[in-house]
Amino acid sequence: MRNSEIRMAETRLVQLVAESSHELCKVCGGSKRTAVYRFRHQQYVIDRIPPVLYPVCRQCVYKEVYGSKTFRKKMKERSLDGKESNK
């Protein structure tokens, strides 16, 4: 991998802040009792660093990372949480 590819791969931030909290999501604007994440989009332009979005609900984070087609499957697997489902 080239230097620029390594740097771009490191710029996406998905961090679980609280497993269960009642916060107002910055992306959808909904107020839910769910996991709270800190999220930043991947950097594509060298001169601009995307802002960190906090708090973001679990559904919005998975939609942003995996897209609208497969995010529900990934949510069941809990792939961003570092945990696996009980199945």
18-42 confidence digits (pLDDT tens): 999 999 999 999 988 989 999 998 8
Residue 71 vs residues 4, 28, 34, 68: alpha-carbon distances, Å: 28, 16, 16, 6
Q: For residue 4, is pLDDT > 80? A: no
Dihedral (CA of 14, 51, 57, 73) sign: negative
Mean pLDDT of 11-22: 86
- pLDDT value, residue 59: 92
Is the pLDDT reported for residue 54 higher than 50? yes
In this structure, how many other beta carbons lie within 10 angstroms of the beta carbon of residue 45? 7
3-class secondary-structure state, position 9:
helix
Q: What is the pTM of this model?
A: 0.75
The pair phi, psi for residue 28, each rounded to 5°, is -95, -15
